[in-house]
């Protein structure tokens, strides 16, 4: 997408695991450092944690709260692993609208994400890539 609405840097790479504790141990054994979480997000029906790899990049581990009722259940049935790219943006809704205009399918309208205290939204691009947009600032109440 030459005219991608991505207006900010890559925030993290999303990685689905069946068991958060085991996933954390595996990544930490490889040198990752826990930065955030694990945190239950009942809105998204997942548990999330953010790890920083030795090179400075971030990995968000995502595990289902209930493996039978979670947006990551289908990814787990395929073995888990890489799930999405997340970009920081000033306006999540505007990013989703721009993606929609480019032919992406909005799969999650803007919603509050407990783990990061931010607004997030997801699109599925025609390439099959799942993209998350996360607001740069916490939502105002």
Residue 140 lies in a domain: no
Residue 65 lies in a domain: yes
Residue 36 lies in a domain: yes
Residue 116 lies in a domain: yes
Residue 124 pLDDT > 80 = yes
| pLDDT top residue among 135 and 6 | 135
Tens of pLDDT, residues 9-39 = 899 999 999 999 999 999 999 999 999 989 9
8-state DSSP, 17: -
Tens of pLDDT, residues 48-100 = 999 999 999 999 999 999 888 888 888 888 999 999 999 999 999 999 999 99
Residue 6 pLDDT > 80 = no
Specify the pLDDT at position 61: 97
Q: Which domain holds residue 49?
A: 10-135
Q: What is the DSSP string of 19-32?
A: -HHHHHHHHHHTT-
- pLDDT band of residue 2 (cuts 50, 70, 90) is very low
pTM over 0.75: yes
> Helix, strand or coil for residue 141?
coil
Residue 4 lies in a domain: no
Residue 82 lies in a domain: yes
Specify the pLDDT at position 141: 63
- pLDDT band of residue 129 (cuts 50, 70, 90) is very high
Q: How far is CA 93 from CA 43, 48, 120, 123, in A?
A: 18, 22, 9, 11
> Helix, strand or coil for residue 73?
helix
Domain count of the fold of the chain: 1
Total residue length of the chain: 141
SS (H, E, C) 58-69: EEEEEEECCCCC
Q: For the chain, what percent of residues have pLDDT higher than 70?
A: 94
Residue 3 pLDDT > 60 = no
Q: What is the CA radius of gyration of the chain?
A: 15
Identify the sign of the CA torsion 125, 131, 135, 136.
negative
8-state DSSP, 132: E
Residue 140 pLDDT > 90 = no
Nearest one of 113, 131, 106, 92 to 42, comparing CA atoms = 113
Nearest one of 97, 124, 121 to 109, comparing CA atoms = 121
Output the domain CATH number for residue 109.
Answer: 3.10.180.10
Residue 131 lies in a domain: yes
Residue 3 lies in a domain: no
């Amino acid at each position: 997408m030459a005219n991608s609405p991505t207006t900010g840097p890559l925030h993290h790479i999303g990685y689905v695991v069946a068991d958060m504790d085991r996933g954390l141990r595996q990544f930490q054994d490889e040198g990752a450092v826990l930065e955030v979480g694990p945190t239950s997000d009942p809105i998204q029906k997942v548990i999330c944690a953010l790890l920083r790899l030795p090179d400075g990049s971030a990995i968000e581990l995502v595990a289902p709260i209930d493996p039978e009722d979670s947006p990551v259940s289908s990814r787990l049935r395929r073995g888990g692993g890489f799930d999405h790219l997340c970009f920081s943006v000033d306006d999540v809704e505007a990013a989703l609208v721009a993606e929609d205009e480019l032919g992406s399918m909005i799969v999650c309208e803007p919603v509050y994400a407990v783990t990061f205290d931010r607004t997030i939204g997801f699109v599925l691009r025609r390439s099959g890539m799942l993209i998350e947009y996360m607001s740069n600032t916490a939502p105002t109440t």
